[in-house]
Chain A
């Protein structure tokens, strides 16, 4: 049995005017750390609300732990932990009060299940009487994760837990997820940060309600068809403009310290491109092949998807 099964789910808002999810299908295996990766408006939150039984799809079928999300509402709710994208704990309750509250709602106690959250809770314990509303972003995020874990869920749904958090706290958060995964909990997590794909077993890339691809990160990268070149020179903005206007350029985007360039005829155009850049007086030119990263792959899939329509 899969932990999550999503089959042809459609969800619209505003009497059908807004198509939030367009025939989305995927499966999550037991014990898997599965990432739903996409920008604002991709449909990630809608998907989470359907899987946590908070929203009913227009059509299609979804199951969580073998239970139908429409018929099995009450059983599913006991078995899932959900961390919404918007901070949803009680700001005027303290850390321990929030934990006790969520434990009680699920017919258990903080004391009985404290061991489940021990390694995260130790970081919160020095502030246990502080009101949730007074905590920093990173601490709120840890408390929200503890509250989602306190009833010993079999599966966790985390909606953009790392948005707006600095890179150090983000990394710590993913380390916590690794430890939870090691205990066998299935985790479905969404993020707009593409670099977090490497922390997931498998990912679904989602854009405007459509799944662009589902695979391991390596699987997605290996499907990237175009040969890519990393290019830089002293004047990056002029380089970008020159390359965008160059007749042999297929696409050119800034990527960190380099531009990522794909050429219409790949390798065959390299000599002509270099000559063009030298003729345009670019100093300290670097021009080398580069392996695509997740954002290259996402951009290519977005463009393919756009052209297919």
Chain B
């Protein structure tokens, strides 16, 4: 954690769909440069909360500010200050590596000349010279994940949202991805990440666990293990999520 600037702040943030309360009065803060783990079982309300924070969905009630902007009235400004990556939707398989970087850079509003420089720099840093003109669909999953993450932070957002970024890769590739996350957080970008890997929860500065739409626990991994009297995050998660009444 680099400083105490708050980049995400919510107060009793709630979202209902009809009589179903997907997100139930969640209150939390995230500081700049923090790696914040956002955990919960399938159906706990993580995706809905994340969509609100990304400016894609309006809350029903409560307050939230992201990157200094209000989620009700300034969602377009929020979108410019964030990056987003998910395993399910990341890159266009039928565009080349270079085309993908330029496409997403353009969407994030990077000017043409700067984008050209940044693209070259990124290809250099990832060591993808031989692959830059290959279709993304032909690359191994681990590379796609790295390119996708790099693309999501190309415009130097204040916060990057990672929705289950690392499924299905080998243990070395998964750790290389976390090396990139650490490096990014160290440079001051806030990381907001969901994952089903409990060892990855340990890599976060703080972790929140959602159960049935509410935040059931929020603390450092060490603090959570202490509170729930267990030696692993898996143990914490099982204790909390077992009590859940609803599933996805």
Chain A residues, CB < 8 A from B40? 166
Interface centre among A139, A168, A255 (most CB of B within 10 A): A168
B222's nearest neighbour on chain A, judged by CB, is A257
| Other-chain residue from B43, B164, B232, B234 in contact with A136 (beta carbon distance below 8 A) | B43
Any B CB within 8 A of the CB of A87: no
Do A139 and B247 touch (CB < 8 A)?
yes
Distance of A240 Cα from B178 Cα, bound (Å): 11
Within 8 A of B (CB), among A131-190: 136-139, 163-171
**Residues in B whose Cβ lies below 8 Å from that of A139:** 247
Q: In this assembly, does B27 line the interface, its C-beta being within 8 Å of a C-beta of chain A?
A: no
Q: What residues of A have a CB within 8 angstroms of the CB of B179 in the complex?
A: 240, 254
Which residues of chain A from 228 to 276 have any CB-CB distance to chain B below 8 Å in the complex? Answer: 236-237, 240, 253-257
Residue of B nearest to A139 (CB): B247
Comparing B53-61, B67-75, B102-110, B236-244, the segment that makes contact with chain A is: B236-244
Q: Is B168 an interface residue (CB 8 A)?
A: yes
* Inter-chain contact A138/B247, CB cutoff 8 Å: yes
**Interface code B171-205, partner A: CB below 8 Å = 1, 0 otherwise?**
11101001100110110000000001111001100
- Which listed residue, A163, A169, A256, A295, touches B42 by the CB 8 Å rule? A169
Known: A164-B164, A164-B167, A298-B171. Contact between A254 and B178, CB under 8 A? yes
Bin the interface of chain A by size. 35 or more
Residue among B172, B178, B183, B222 facing the most chain A CB atoms (10 A cut-off): B172
Asked if A116 is an interface residue, CB under 8 A from chain B, the answer is no
Most buried by A among B171, B234, B244: B171
Mark B residues whose CB is within 8 Å of A. Answer: 40-43, 140-142, 164, 167-173, 175, 178-179, 182-183, 185-186, 196-199, 202-203, 221-222, 232-234, 237-238, 241-242, 244, 247-248
Distance, CA A139 to CA B198, complexed state (A): 22
Point out the residue from A41, A165, A194, A257 that lies within 8 Å of B196, measured CB to CB. A165
Do A168 and B41 touch (CB < 8 A)?
yes
Contact with B along A283-295 (1 / 0, CB 8 A): 0000000000001
Contacts of B182 in A (CB 8 A): 236-237, 240, 254
The answer to whether B168 and A254 touch across the interface, beta carbons within 8 angstroms, is: no
A194 touches B171 (CB 8 A): yes
CA distance A166 to B244 in the complex (A): 13
For B41, the chain A residues whose CB sits under 8 A away are: 166-169
Write 10 A-B pairs (CB below 8 A) sorted by A numbering.
A39-B141, A41-B140, A136-B248, A164-B196, A167-B237, A236-B203, A254-B203, A255-B199, A295-B171, A302-B171
* Residue A192 CB within 8 A of the other chain: yes
Contacts beyond the supplied A166-B40, A236-B182: 14 A-B pairs with Cβ under 8 Å: A38-B170, A39-B173, A136-B42, A136-B43, A136-B248, A137-B248, A139-B247, A166-B42, A166-B196, A167-B196, A167-B198, A168-B242, A256-B232, A257-B222
Residues of B with C-beta under 8 A to A111: none
Q: How far is the CB of B64 from chain A (nearest CB, A)?
A: 25
Residues of B within 8 A of A168 (CB): 41, 237-238, 241-242, 244
**Can you name the residue of chain A whose Cβ is closest to the Cβ of B246?**
A136
Known contacts A41-B140, A166-B41, A167-B238; is-contact A257 B221 (Cβ 8 Å): yes
CB distance from B142 to the nearest CB of A (A): 8
Contacts of B175 in A (CB 8 A): 253-254
Q: Please, how many angstroms separate the alpha-carbon atoms of A256 and B232 in the complex?
A: 9
Say how far B138's CB is from chain A's closest CB, in angstroms: 10
Bound complex: CA A295 to CA B202 (Å) = 15
A138-B171 contact in complex given A166-B241, A167-B238, C-beta closer than 8 Å = no
**Candidates A41, A237, A254, A255; contact of B185 at CB < 8 Å:** A237
Contact B171 A40 (CB under 8 A): no
In angstroms, Cα B239 to Cα A171, docked, is 13
Least distance between B87 CB and chain A CB atoms (Å): 8
A71: min CB distance to chain B, Å: 34
| Chain B residues whose CB sits within 8 angstroms of the CB of A169 once the complex forms | 41-42, 247
Q: Which partner residue on chain B sits nearest A194 by CB separation?
A: B171
Known: A237-B186, A257-B202, A257-B222. A165 touches B168 (CB 8 A): no
Find out whether the CB atom of A138 lies under 8 angstroms from the CB atom of B168. Answer: no
Residues of B within 8 A of A253 (CB): 171-172, 175
Docked pose: A171 CA to B203 CA in angstroms: 22
Q: Is A278 in contact with chain B by the CB < 8 A criterion? A: no
| Residue A207 is within 8 A (CB to CB) of chain B in the complex | yes
Tell me whether A54 is interfacial, beta carbon within 8 Å.
Answer: no
Q: In the complex the two chains form, what is the Cα distance from A240 to B244 in whole Å?
A: 37
Answer yes or no: A125 CB below 8 A from chain B CBs: no
Residues of the A chain whose Cβ atoms lie less than 8 Å from the Cβ of B43: 136
**8 shortest interchain CB distances as A-B pairs:** A136-B248, A39-B170, A256-B202, A40-B168, A237-B182, A166-B41, A295-B171, A256-B199
**CA distance in complex: A195, B179 (Å):** 21
* Chain A residues in 8 Å Cβ range of B199: 255-256
State the Cβ distance, A66 to closest chain B Cβ, in Å: 34
